[in-house]
Structure 1
Amino acid sequence: MMKASAQDLLDWYDRGARRLPWRGTADPYRIWISEVMLQQTTVAAVGPRYARFLARFPDVAALAAAEWAELAEEWAGLGYYARARNLHAAARAIMAGAIPATVEGWRALPGIGPYTAAAIGAIALGAPVVPMDGNVERVVARLHAVEAPLPGARAELARLGQLFTTQPAMRARPGDFAQALFDLGATICTPRNPACALCPWREACRGFALGLAPSLPRKAPKAARTQLHGVHFALLDGQGRLLLQRRPESGLLGGMLALPGTPWRAQPWTAEEASPHAPLAGVNWRPLPGEARHGFTHRDLTMTLWAARTPRLPEGAEALPLEEALRHMPSAMRKLLALLGPGFTAP
């Protein structure tokens, strides 16, 4: 079969590249922020948040100088909060030295994996590397008809992907080539029902020739997801302020504002077990009907909510008006607060 041509892909990209807010720049900082935001988050969700983030933290110095609470507030709702913690740590590491000028330099920073370092290298630094995200792995698996399942096939897919670096067209435009691969995987070589008739590499694709393209890449059976359970407490004072606490830096939702509550564990909590975790004794706590569910990468969390009102919150307690708290909290906590209902009143 003919070899997949980097020039053919670039010609296709030049005719119809997606217009995205983070394109048209070679600023490593802006490329870095976009790539971190796009991990596990859709392009549609990232678009407006990317612009807002850069307005608040326009460069690495501003990000490094920010307090964690500021960054946590800006990241609220984007999920996968370890990304934000690593962004903060990496920004401070850069300010202690210099912004990296190589893929290897980026790889050495906190939270920067092989894909992100390669994406920054290709797009911002012009390095002849192929970033291997899920879209690109899918394209390469189909192009070469790799039937070994993920994640075991990942090293072979990376090796095959890097073969494009031998082509002069790719080496002349590594950033555009990387983004062309992203576009191909996102718009043509999609997980289900790939539009093979429109693909610039159809004639070079072994998966298409063998009728295997829609079934690739194969995936090993998923392990059972861990189930977690928790009880949280919504305490409102006479001014409508909600009692909050910041979660520990490590672990799920690390460093984010949250409702006080029990630890998250495998077994559901009984009322007798949960009661001692209430943040204030002597108020009339009422378990509310319903549950809030939230999925993390490998874990599912089910939460129940108890609610109460009190004239005054404890001295020095962290609190925000309910509507403001909703803007600052991660989506798991917002789902939980939805159980309050619009007409919540103290019993």
Structure 2
Amino acid sequence: MQQAAMSDGQQRRRRHASRSLLAWYDRHRRVLPWRAPAHDIADPYRVWLSEIMLQQTVVKAVIPYFDSFTRRWPTLADLAAARDDEVMAAWAGLGYYSRARKLIACAKEVMERFDGRFPDDEAALLALPGIGPYTAAAISAIAFGRRAVVVDGNVERVIARLFRITTPLPAAKREIRERAADLTPAGRAGDYAQGMMDLGATICTPRRPACDRCPLMAMCEGGQAGDAEDFPRKTPKRTKPQRRGLVHVAFRGGDVLLTRRPPRGLLGGMVAFPSTPWTEPAAGDIQPPPQLVPLTHGKWHEVPGDVTHVFTHFTLSLTVWIAQIDGDTMAPADMWWSPISQLEEAGLPSLMQKVARHPHVVSWLRRQSVT
């Protein structure tokens, strides 16, 4: 009898939560370029593209990239047919470049295996490059209307507060998912998933949640206790290790020396200034890449002010070296001379854009572009 009563209670809670949330979503939904109107099923290509871009990236940063991609490649077939270097260049600045490489691989695989149509169930979606459990659930719910448990960072925060889950993240993820599954309705699955995301993004925010405007306040244990802002609890983060390296900016008249990073690893396949490997500080003195040493015959000189960049697992400091190269010097193997005037179109990732904005590099760029 007790188990049956719990089941009835869960069903009532699910119906109440979904009705309240969907009514709120119909009135307050965010207008985003990848979204279909409420009650409609969205284009799978646009849902997939937006979800890949939104991984570890905020909506505000994604919107201009999404608009640019969909203007340039309006369909999956267009994207699958694009040159890899063009896609990587268009992605430059958005970060987490393995996403772009997997985006290309996924587009081609859907064209080859599924005749250009995304599969509509989570298991088949999970087998595609770059699609994990969250993304598979989001595509299944939003693009195909299937009931799926969609849990991103915003939803984690909402659920942790609704049920006042004291276990800290990441250990709480399993319990949060189970609670989210209890609330997820069968109908309007896509709208419900997006409503939960919107609730976390606009009402149930990390700081100063607007509990008085929350459609789920009546059932929120954190809100009723007055400590919603204390959830979700998190395990203290470890201090990120430090790495360092050298980055080399060489000029030859109106040109600057560029290379392409190896296809695997950080910034894989991206256009960059030549640099050394990124080592731990204890690795000793860092030597320039051997192919650059004969290029300048000792003309490299260090400029003050390192370029720092925070990656997911470490913080990087790059010391900048600059050199002026003779006008008839050939580029080393796997490098090329690119016009300074075209540097903004080269598709430099954020780290290399920081190098290009280094005050001494900017001074040299300006000096060379007018000579």
Which category of TM-score, normalised to the shorter sequence, fits these structures?
A: over 0.9
**Number of residue-to-residue matches in the alignment:** 341
Answer yes or no: is 1:318 the counterpart of 2:336: yes
The offset of 1:91, in angstroms, is: 1.2
Q: Provide the C-alpha distance between the structure 1 equivalents of 2:313 and 2:271, rounded to a whole number of angstroms.
A: 22
Task: Judge which range, 214-223 or 310-319, deviates more.
Answer: 310-319
Q: Which residue pairs with 2:148 in the alignment?
A: 129
Name 1:292's counterpart in structure 2: 307
Question: What's the counterpart of residue 14 of structure 1?
Answer: 26
Q: Secondary structure at the match of 1:109?
A: coil
CA contact (8 A) 2:247 2:276 kept: yes
Asked whether the 8 Å contact 1:243–1:259 carries over to 2, the reply is yes
- Distance across 2 between alignment mates of 1:20 and 1:246: 34
Q: Following the alignment from structure 1 to structure 2, what is the Cα–Cα distance between the partners of residues 323 and 229?
A: 29
Contact kept? 2:355, 2:361, Cα under 8 Å: no
1:171-220 C-alpha deviation (Å, 9 max, x unpaired): 22111111111110000000111111110011100111122210100111
Q: Mind listing any 5+ residue stretches in structure 2 that lack a counterpart? A: 1-8
Aligned to 2:80: 64
Query: Deviations 1:128-168 (Å, cap 9, x if unpaired)?
Result: 11211000000000001101000011011111101123xxx
Q: What is the CA–CA distance in structure 2 between the aligned matches of 1:124 and 1:313, rounded to whole Å?
A: 54
Structure 1 unpaired stretches of 5+: none
2:362 corresponds, among 324, 342, 345, to: 342
Q: 1:220 to 1:323 in 2, by over 3 A?
A: farther
Amino acid in structure 1 at the alignment position of 2:64: P
CA contact (8 A) 1:261 1:278 kept: no
Q: Distance in 1 between matches of 2:133 and 2:47?
A: 15
AA aligned opposite 1:22: W
2:278 equivalent to 1:274: no
1:229 and 2:244 correspond: yes
- AA of the residue aligned to 2:30: R
How much has 1:278 moved relative to structure 2? 3.1
**Alignment RMSD (CA, Å):** 2.0
CA drift at 1:233: 0.5
Q: How does 1:153-168 map to 2 (within 5 A)?
A: 153-165=172-184
- 1:28-68 CA-partner distances (Å, limit 9, x unpaired): 11100001111111211111110111122222222222222
Q: Report whether the alignment pairs 1:79 with 2:95.
A: yes
Identity percentage over the alignment?
45
CA contact (8 A) 1:229 1:269 kept: no
Contact 1:283–1:309 (8 Å) recurs in 2: no
Report the 3-state secondary structure (helix = DSSP H, G, I; strand = E; otherwise coil) of the residue aligned with 2:362. coil
What secondary structure sits across from 2:267 in the alignment? Answer: coil
- Normalising by the residue count of structure 1, what TM-score does the alignment of the two structures yield? 0.93
CA contact (8 A) 2:260 2:272 kept: yes
Contact 1:151 1:220 (C-alpha < 8 Å) held by counterparts: yes
Distance 1:275 1:93 in 2: 37
Q: Is the 8 A contact 1:261 1:277 kept in 2?
A: no
Instruction: Report which stretch shifted further, 321-330 or 135-144.
Output: 321-330
Counterpart CA distance in 1 for 2:152 and 2:341 is 37
The 3 A distance-change label for structure 1 pair 103 and 306 is: same
Report the equivalent of 2:351.
332
Out of 9, 17, 25, the residue aligned to residue 5 of structure 1 is 17
Give the corresponding residue for 2:278. Answer: 264
1: CA distance between counterparts of 2:177 and 2:161? 13
By how many angstroms is 1:318 displaced? 2.1
What displacement does 1:326 show? 3.3
Distance 1:164 1:83 in 2: 31
TM-score when scaled to structure 2? 0.87
Would the alpha carbon gap of residues 313 and 79 (structure 1) be closer, same or farther in structure 2, given more than 3 Å must change? farther
